[in-house]
Structure 1
Amino acid sequence: MAGDKRTAADLGAWLCFEDEAGQGLRSPTGRTWGRRGATLVVRVTAAGAARVSLAALVCTRPGRRSRLFYRTLARRRTRGDGKRQGFDERDYAALLDAAHQQLRGPIVLTWDNLNAHISARMRRLIAARPWLTVYQLPAYAPELNPVEGVWSQLKRSLANLAKHGLDQLVGLIKTRLKRMQYRPGLIDGYLAKPGLDFAAP
């Protein structure tokens, strides 16, 4: 990680972390108030196959406010052709292109070892973007990725909510992520949680 920080500082680049998550129509469970002796029930009125895939970038650069970028991908049913149902290499490239356009600077990206991140196709897409430098996180190290904080807060905010369809779930997710985008102090908190030092060396 220290090498990533030096590279970002040397390039005058944004240091960005990426991660994926998913959410189905069955809401995460959480604590709530209720009458003693009466168990609260949240009824879900949709098939379990419908799911939303999420990808997000948390980006930092000394002297600039921290940024959050995200994309959603809704799936109404599972595919039986064996193909990846979440984001593919094209989708990740589109997310990175959108972030680069808004950040207006080079990006040093740190992400995990997901198959789509290390595929030959992804390597070609990375090589075609001279403003992008990519590093892999160590295997099984979610505690080093600030985006995990985004997913944790998002899932807590969806706890015990009954969603009556995929469109409603996508709307709720986008609303909550958009609120996070306008709270740079919250994003700074996600960046601080792994205990990484982002100050320029």
Structure 2
Amino acid sequence: MELMNNDEPTLDTLSMWLQDQQDGVQTPEHRELTRHINECPSCSQRIAALKRVDQVSADLVSTEVAVQKKDTTWLDDLMANLVFETLAGRSIPLSAEYDVDNFSITEGAILAAIRGVADSMENLIIGRCRLVGDVEEPTSPIIVQVSATVRYGAVIAEVTDRLRELITAEVHRVCELNIEAIDIEVQDIFGSPLEAGE
């Protein structure tokens, strides 16, 4: 089993585990990694993201060969950010009823929550997601920066407006950050005219 420096499975290892899971492989190594994934929030988040990537890849493979050759740097962008977003990151304080209590949530947990609501949208995939600002200082203005890829045929303004609504609601649900703005940069389009029924 290939591990990262902190003894966590690499994305390649998790990707191979996912393929084995789909193929019904039940080796001792596979079962051991399954137990780790079930107990590790970070690996569980990565598996969820990899499943999303697999689904999008399957959608693309269903199109013509010419479309498959389309530049897919958005997919590379997504993969490159998975490890960063599932690290703990900075500690974000939460209010408590008593001064002796000290509650907080990690930056990684908030990014995972944002990616979770984005993954619920059929016409969009987010690549990079960052919290810009001093998240460790209560009331400090924070900007959520997101890069996104939108499905061919979708109305970009409608998709991004909906994403802002979902991110705003989810961030307010899990923490008390002072969100000043949500910047969404649409970097690419996925899918094809064939998928849109043209």
Task: Give the TM-score normalised by structure 1.
Answer: 0.25
Q: Of the two structures, which has the highest relative contact order with CA contacts closer than 8 Å and spacing of 6 or more?
A: 1
Give 1 or 2: higher helix fraction: 2
Task: Give the TM-score normalised by structure 2.
Answer: 0.25
